[in-house]
Amino acid sequence: MEKQNDHKKFSKKIWVLSAGIIVILAIVLFAGIKNGFFLRKGDKILYAAYHTIKDQPETADVSENEDYTVSVDGQWKKQKIQAEYASASDQKQLKGTIDLDKLPDLEFVMTLDEKELKTQLPSLSSKVFTYDYKNGGKSGYLAKKIGSEKLERFDAILEELYGGNEQKTIGTDILKEARKEFNKLKINKTEKKEFKIDGQKRNCAGYQFTISKDNAQNVLDAAEKAVKKKYGDGTKISADPVGKVFMVFYDKISAAGEMECSVYLYQNKLAAVSVNYEDDENAQNIDVLFLGGDFRTQNMKIAFLTGEKTTTIQTNISGNLAAKDGTITFESDDTDSLSGRISVQKCCQISELTGEECNLMKLNGFELLELFGEFAGFGF
């Protein structure tokens, strides 16, 4: 009987010990997963990128529809930039000043609501120029010259800018393809490298990989396909205003050839990223250092090497951009690069456009010529 009790006690101890080991293993496994210990090299980089972006001040509950204002004040290629974007529930407004070389500054105000775009250029005319993107009625000289197909695409863009969510869908489709291409890459671990993060020198794990022209092209093709899905299979992205910017980026990447990339991580966040490639037989290099602070992206240093010229831009984030109450500043050591600040604040004030309304898409050739004469300061 005593042996049986001893056997029961021994079995109980084994069970308790086993349960304890299972709990410990579960804790270790959870900690390992949380800290990325069991991830593939590529997944560790993606995991770090995600947590770098996520590493922001605690965000208060903010409604997506809450009114806000984005202010831009800076300089690029010796041209001053001043603009303010206000977003309210029923309308959006962009206003600012364009610094024209050897000409008077041009002020502009553009307001977009659920049916039309209104524009006023106070230094040229007191008229309010309207463009109805909802109800058609485009029969004037400009409408015929531009063509119905391009106008329909422009209408779709304005509708999306006013209140659509398709941009998020397009971005998701592109990211899916980028992730697919990234998983194809052969990633090698390299020696640790020292970087200054949060004011302290840190040893950071390094990884290297090469992005081929095919990898980049596949992502760019996916981007084009995603946009076409929204605006129609016949859409040529280069014909759209926003698409022109995309095509500049598209052409740059397409001409770049292979890109040698190095990524360094510290505590499951990005410490540094370096990209080397050739463009028109000139060596190109981009280095991004995540200097940290209260969060990893609070202070960053970005260096661009083109040929033998290096341009450096330093950024700093104050406040809480995600909560629509913060500012990001850019300081460059080159007058041809962007310097200035972008601020985001809750609430907004929409300026009312007053003046005689003029529908540009209904003007005939003579009326259009008369309008240009008014811009130039003389009439017909």
Clarify whether residues 228 and 92 are in a common domain: no
Q: Is the pLDDT of residue 87 over 80?
A: yes
Residues 108 and 229 in one domain: no
pLDDT score at 12: 44
pLDDT of the residue at 253: 64
Using the 3D structure, point to which of 290, 307, 324 is the last residue of a domain. 307
Give the residue numbers spanning the domain of 358.
65-163+336-379
43 and 173 in one domain? yes
Q: Residue 23 above 50 pLDDT?
A: no
**Per-residue pLDDT reduced to its tens digit, 326-369:** 899 988 887 777 788 999 998 888 989 998 999 888 888 888 88
Task: Yes or no: say if 58 and 338 are a contact pair by the CB < 8 Å rule.
Answer: no
What is the average per-residue pLDDT within 4-33? Answer: 43
Asked if residue 184 belongs to a domain, the reply is: yes
- pLDDT tens sequence across 305-329: 777 778 888 999 998 887 888 899 9
Q: What is the pLDDT of residue 6?
A: 52
325 in a domain, yes or no?
no
Q: Mark whether 128 and 277 lie in a shared domain.
A: no
Same domain, yes or no: 55 and 95: no
Residues 40 and 189 reside in one and the same domain: yes
CA-angle at 210, arms to 330 and 275, nearest 5°: 20
Domain tally, the chain: 2
148 and 213 in a single domain? The answer is no
342 and 298 in a common domain: no
The pLDDT > 70 percentage for the chain reads 74
Task: Indicate if 222 and 201 belong to the same structural domain.
Answer: yes
CA angle 313, 318, 319 (to 5 degrees): 150
| Paired sense of beta strands 128-132 and 357-359, if any | parallel
Question: Which of 289, 307, 325 finishes a domain?
Answer: 307
pLDDT tens, residue by residue, 136-194 = 778 888 888 888 888 887 887 788 788 765 555 666 777 777 788 888 889 899 999 99
| 128 and 175 fall within a common domain | no
